[in-house]
Amino acid sequence: MPENLFTFENRVVVVVGAGSGIGEAVALGAAGHGARVECLDVKAETAEATKARIRSGGGAAEAAALDIVDSTAVDAAIQQIARRHGRLDAMVCTPAINVRKKILDYSDDEFDRVVRLNLKGTFNVLRATGRVMTAQRSGSIVIFSSIRSQVVEPGQSVYAATKAGVVQLVRTAAAEFGPSGVRVNAIGPGVVETPLTQQIKSKPEWYDAYAKKTVFGRWAAAGEMVGPTLFLISDAASYVTGSVLFADGGWIAADGRFTPPGM
């Protein structure tokens, strides 16, 4: 066991979704701890911008465009990174979309779009990374799920189903990849200020209602997902696999916000 459990010096960390939000924060955080970061995003320009920020701070980074619903492109990108560095130490996958509609109002196309990115796209990344890491017999994968894998509200049906599905993919991958020394875990954020939640942020009543669901009475900043992520891909989590780390400000733990008299 190394002296510094949280060192990432010269380790190769791939961040999918590195162009914005949680993915951008994780890419910057990993680089700040010494990792060589591969910034992948569906938008080439945002991936390049994150790479530029890392390099301007003296870190090592590369960037490329990647659409994770394209399994051939995902396989090629992961294989290319592994060949360039000789290994792949960690993968962090963050992308997701949400169409907030009641079940009776959902169209076939909307269902397919959400499932295609959130579930199939995540599967593509998990499978491609697993092929590399099981062959090298080491590595750590972190997939972003959500509190919606556990609790829901009207309008969250398909998104919640995909995030629950992600958890089961992670657990199965942990069971299958574990004998080869590869760890697979998930993070379940609560409400985080990212482009995905802009719709909520623009409505003060909605924004405040979500803030009050947490025990801290506030939303998370994207940077607050960095610590949980780096923990899971670090040597400090060497015996952690098949788990979901909920970074939700106590949302799931606190069932209701009413404090009974005398408490």
pLDDT in tens, 121-147: 999 999 999 999 999 999 999 999 999
Q: Is the dihedral of CA 204, 160, 43, 9 positive or negative?
A: positive
C-alpha 20/C-alpha 126 separation (Å) is 21
Is 70 exceeded by the pLDDT of residue 150?
yes
Helices (H) and strands (E) in the chain, counts: 9, 9
CATH number at residue 97: 3.40.50.720
Is residue 81 a part of any domain in this protein? yes
To the nearest whole percent, how much of the chain has pLDDT over 90?
Answer: 86
Residue at 261 is within a domain:
no
Residue 262 lies in a domain: no
Q: How far is CA 190 from CA 83, 149, 229, in A?
A: 36, 11, 14
Residue 263 belongs to a domain = no
Rounded mean pLDDT of 141-168?
96
Pairwise CA distance, residues 136 & 181, whole Å: 9
pLDDT averaged over every residue in the chain? 94
Q: Is residue 5 part of a domain?
A: no
- At 1, the pLDDT band (50, 70, 90 cuts) reads low
The Cα–Cα gap between 234 and 247 comes to 17
Instruction: Give mean pLDDT, residues 190-208.
Output: 84
Examine the pLDDT at 198 and tell me if it is beyond 90: no
Active site (catalytic) residues: 159
pTM higher than the cut 0.75: yes
Question: pLDDT tens across 222-260, in order?
Answer: 999 999 999 999 999 999 999 999 999 999 998 665 555
Domain count, the chain: 1
pLDDT for the residue numbered 60: 97
User: Range of 48's domain?
Assistant: 12-246
| DSSP H or E stretch at residue 182 | strand 182-189
Helix (H) or strand (E) holding 53, with range, is helix 44-56
